[in-house]
Each structure stands twice: as C-alpha cells, then as structure tokens.
Structure 1
Amino acid sequence: MFRSHYRLERRTIGLVLTIVFVASIGGIFEIAPLFTIHQTVEDAPNMRLYTPLELAGRNIYTREGCYACHSQMIRTLRDEVERYGPYSLAVESKYDHPMLWGSKRTGPDLARVGGKYSDEWHVAHLISPRDVVPESVMPRYAWLLRAVLRTDDLSAHLKAQRAVGVPYTDEMIANAAADAYGQAAPESPLAEGVARRYGEATTLRAFDGNATKLTEMDALVAYLQILGRLTDVATHPVATAE
C-alpha cells in the first residue's frame, strides 16, 4: 500500500488527478442533494418576515457575538427535543441571512426561546445574567437599555435582505424606520402600519418597558421573542414543497 503511495507521489500529474478525483467525491455528495431540495424541504405557507425591529435585534445579536455561545438548531436527539422543543426544520431558517445555527452551547439553544420567558425576564437577564441565573457565565449587556437604536439605515438593511431573496416589499422598505418605532410603541399611530404590513399576529409592545424611547434592548428582546415563532410548521406539519 505504501509503495503504491510513494510511487504516486513521484508522479505529479497523477497525484494531482487523484486528489481532484477524491475531493470531487465529497463535492458530489454535498451538491447532489441541492437538486432535490424542493422535494425535501418543508413548505411553510404561514411563514412571516422579520419586522424591522426584529431584524435590527438580529443584527445586534450577531454584532455582540451571541452565536458564539448559543446555537439555534435543535437536533433530532431525544434529550434535545425534550429540553428545547420540536427539532429544527430547514424552512424555519429560510429568511436567515446569514443563518445562526451555531455549533457551540456555552449557553442553551435559543431556537425556540420565543415566548418562553417574559420581556421583563429577558431585560433583567441581559442587564445582569447572574441575578436571574446564578450559574450563568454570560457577560452583562446593561448598556443596551441606554443605547438608542439607530433606525436611519433600516431601509438599507431590508433592501439588502431582499437582494438575497427575502420578499420585503417597497412599502416595507420605505416604512422600515417608522415600523421599528411603531412596534415598540403600541399606542402610537405608527403601530397600525406595522400590523398591516407584517400581519395582525405581530407583537406590538414596549419590549424594554419604556414606550417613549426606542433602544437596542427593545430590538434584541423583540428578536429573542420571535425565535421559533415565525412559523408553526414544526408543531403543525404541512406537506413538503413540490
């Protein structure tokens, strides 16, 4: 065996062709499933889009590196399903660019954390994690409650998402900043536009407890509260896409 390998190493062209051949085998196994993806990925007709506020929260989540300690993908293992809920489906991440599945769990998986805790719990946890979970090693994010959320670039973020396939409309893009304010201020006139554009089921409330100021805490909590709730396909399966 080793003699054959040594002889192959002396023949540069043969060695290169062998490497290409072996590498292509792995490539075929990775690429081939993509040709049948429409038959294997579930359809989610009730899938809704991230609102501008939730998308801003997702950007903050990414900016702060939360994905380095928290995954967002529940595997089919029994202990994971019993702890976190129904295993994750590919269609649930169809509007995630980039996806935040992750591979490390210093903290718990967050794929279905939406609605599991109150807004007050999330705010308290982000301000001082050990006041809520004594054994937590998560850093504090208290300053998010003081940081005013930047909204002047939200339209550009929605437009970028549309460029990679997320079906945001021109109206959604044009009203991105107003909708961010409206979602966190349910009593304001702007709230009506959010519900009209993103659906009546959209959560409208002051996520950080203060409706007079739009903060990065509002955005991050809004994002955490929608995780696993963009569609109910995991709990109410539908037929696979055709």
Structure 2
Amino acid sequence: MSIFGFHYRLERKSVGLVLMIVGVASIGGLVEIAPLFTIHQTVEDAPNMRVYTPLELAGRNIYIREGCYACHSQMIRTLRDEVERYGHYSLAVESKYDHPHLWGSKRTGPDLARLGGKYSDEWQVAHLNNPRDVVPESVMPAYTWLSRTELRTDDLSAHLKAQRTVGVPYTDDMIANAAADAYGQASPDSNDAEGVTKRYGKDTNVRAFDGKPNQLTEMDALVAYLQILGRLTDVDAKPVADAGAKLGAKP
C-alpha cells in the first residue's frame, strides 16, 4: 500500500513526477546505449572484407528504391531451420558497410543474406523480368523496365563520398573513378574493367550482368548487388561455431 501511496503523492507534484519520469527513461536509455561503447570489443573486423563497388552500391540503392527490403530480410537468425535453409547465420560485421542496414523483420519472400552466387545472372534477370517464369507460385511484381533503363552514373562519386562520411573506407581514387568503375564492371571487354579489379580486388565480379555488354542498365546494377550478398567476406565459409565465436552473431 505504501508504494501506491507514494505514487499518489507524486502525481500531485508535477516537478517531482517529471523528474521521476526522466530518471526512469534515462535508465532504459542507458541500458540500450551502454553496450555500444564496447562494440569494438564484441564485434571484430573481418580483415578480408571489401566495400561495395559503385555498381553494387547503385544496385543497392535501386533495391531500396523499389522496396525489395519490405518483402525480403537480410538477416539469417541462429535458429537451426534458418541455418539449414539459408546458410551460415548472419554476423554483425557483415553489415558494417550497410547504410542503412536491411536486416528486416518480415519475409514475404526468402531471406537474401547469402543469395550471392546461388543462382546465375540469367536466372536473376529472368526472375526480375517475370518472377513466375522461374518460381510459378511467386507473388513478386515484375521489374521489366530495369533492363530498358540506363543507369545514372554521374552522381556515383557523390554517393561514395557520402558513404565515406559515415565510415566506409572509400579512397579518393575510388571516388574519382566511380562512374568509370560502374561501367567497367558490367563491360568486361572495356578499358575500364581492369581498374575495377585493381581498386576492389581480383575476385570482384566483372561481367555483363544483364547479358548486354557495353550497355549499362539498372538491371546490371541490381543483379551485381544481388550476386555479392553474403560474399563481401568469407565468414560464411568458416565452421558455424568458429565464425560465431570469433565475430559475434546478430541477435
């Protein structure tokens, strides 16, 4: 009864009530914020992790623009059925260059965290043009215009520069050559292709993603992004227990 009596008395004193509300809210905020101060101790870096290429980053922007994240999550949980279906559970370090992150909480379609390399470029293009051609029961809309829409590249340097302001380690060379690298990644026979592997690594996917060499489209960008999901680092190739212990799984 004394607790309720204290509460009733406190309600009659507006200043005291406000101070108590602030105090209780501060405790909750501290519980959420405090762990962030030790984030570098709990989540280790993946030494071989690379950044998105300009073409992949453009594809990610298209993925967000078209609302793909609303039906597909990019976070495999540690549950056994998810790991068996989608692969190694997602690790926090894998999202270090994702601004914003696209973990998601709703799945109308499957999780895409480890989609990269699972299907061919031709499958991805066919699926985006008409999902029911490859998945008859799909309710996903078609994105046929992507193959007909030229990819805008004149603002890619600005996109990379913006990413660098939030911690993504793009170099001045990467920023200066963003437009050329986007074209070169989708045009393996062009003079710009060599620069892509020089700046982003020899394992970077360099090919005509939409099947049309020397023509850069939004389809190229989106497929390039889908084909790199889960492959910016090789943590998924490690044994589940080993990788999780070293790098920390997402909750």
Displacement of 1:233 in angstroms is: 2.0
Contact 1:39 1:240 in 2 (8 A): no
Aligned length: 241
Contact 2:87 2:236 in 1 (8 A): no
Contact 1:42 1:89 in 2 (8 A): no
Aligned to 1:163: 165
CA deviation digits over 1:131-190, x for unaligned, max 9?
Answer: 211111111101001000001111111111111111111111111111011000111111
Aligned to 2:97: 95
Displacement of 1:25 in angstroms is: 1.8
Q: Matches of residues 1-242 of structure 1 in structure 2 within 5 Å?
A: 2-236=4-238, 237=243, 239=246
Tell me the TM-score normalised to structure 1 length.
0.95
Among all aligned residue pairs of Structure 1 and Structure 2, give the percentage whose two residues are the same amino acid. Answer: 80
Structure 1 residues 215-224 or 181-190, which shifts more? 181-190
CA deviation digits over 1:7-36, x for unaligned, max 9?
Answer: 332221222122112211211111111121
Q: Distance in 1 between matches of 2:71 and 2:147?
A: 22
**3-state DSSP of counterpart to 1:45:** coil
Q: Distance in 1 between matches of 2:130 and 2:246?
A: 44
Displacement of 1:42 in angstroms is: 2.4
- The RMSD of aligned alpha carbons is 1.5
Shift in CA distance, 58/198, structure 1 to aligned 2, threshold 3 Å? same
Q: Distance in 1 between matches of 2:7 and 2:141?
A: 52
Q: Distance in 2 between matches of 1:215 and 1:100?
A: 23
- The one-letter amino acid of 1:47's match is M
Name structure 2 gaps, 5 residues minimum.
none
Structure 1 residues 229-238 or 56-65, which shifts more? 229-238
Name structure 1 gaps, 5 residues minimum.
none
Q: Distance in 1 between matches of 2:38 and 2:53?
A: 31
Tell me the TM-score normalised to structure 2 length.
0.92
